[in-house]
Amino acid sequence: MEQAKKIEDETLWDCHEHDDLSDKQHIEECLSEMLAEYIGDERNYVVDGAEIECTEMCIISHCIKYENGKTKLYNVLNAPKGIERDYVPPGKEEGKAFYFGSDTDTDKVRRLFTLHAKGASDNGIRFGTVVDRKCLRDVREGVVDPVTPDDGIPAACEANIISCGNCRIMRVSDIAEIEKRWDESMEYGTCYSLIKPVAEWLNPLCAESVAGNCDAENNLALNMGLIEVGPTKPSCVITEHHKVLEFDTQYGKKEGLTMLSTLLCTRGGVITIKVHGQIYLDANMMLVTNELFITIDQLLLLGWNNITQESVDELNRVLVKYEINSVERIRHFLAQCMKETGRGACLREREYIKWSSQAEYEDFFNKNTAYGYKYRGAGYLQLTWDYAYLAFATYMIKQECSDLSIEWRSPKNTGTGFQERYDAAVQKAEEIQAVGGNIIMAMPHMAMPRAANVAMLGWDLLQNGKADDVMSLEPLYIRRSEAEVLWEKRNGVKE
CA distance 113 to 128: 8
Indicate the domain borders of the chain.
40-203+244-290, 293-411+465-495
Q: Which residues of the chain are under the pLDDT cut of 50?
A: 208, 211, 213, 215-235, 280-290, 413-414, 418, 445
Q: What residue ranges in 285-416 does DSSP mark as E strands?
A: 287-288
Query: How far apart (Å, rounded) are the C-alpha atoms in residues 291 and 371?
Result: 38
What is the chain's alpha carbon radius of gyration, rounded to the nearest angstrom? 27
Rounded (5°) CA angle 75-77-78: 65
pLDDT of 41 reads 62
pLDDT at res. 4: 64
Is residue 51 within 8 Å of residue 274, measured between CB atoms?
A: yes
What is the Cα–Cα distance from 197 to 201, expressed in whole angstroms?
A: 9
> Cβ(100)–Cβ(166) under 8 Å?
yes
Rounded Cα distance, 180 and 197, in Å: 19
Helix axis angle for 451-463 and 327-341, nearest 10°, is: 140
How confident is the model at residue 478, as a pLDDT? 62
pLDDT, residue 40, reads 61
Tell me how far apart the alpha carbons of residues 116 and 134 are, in angstroms, rounded to a whole number.
Answer: 11
pTM, whole model, 2 decimals?
Answer: 0.51
pLDDT of res. 395: 77
> What 3-state class would DSSP assign to 321?
helix
How many C-beta neighbours within 10 Å does residue 308 have? 9
At residue 265, φ and ψ (nearest 5 deg) are -110, 130
Task: Provide the CB-side half-sphere exposure for 138 (13 A, CA).
Answer: 19
Which SS3 state, helix, strand or coil, does residue 126 take?
Answer: strand
Side-chain half-sphere exposure of 140, counting CA atoms within 13 A: 11
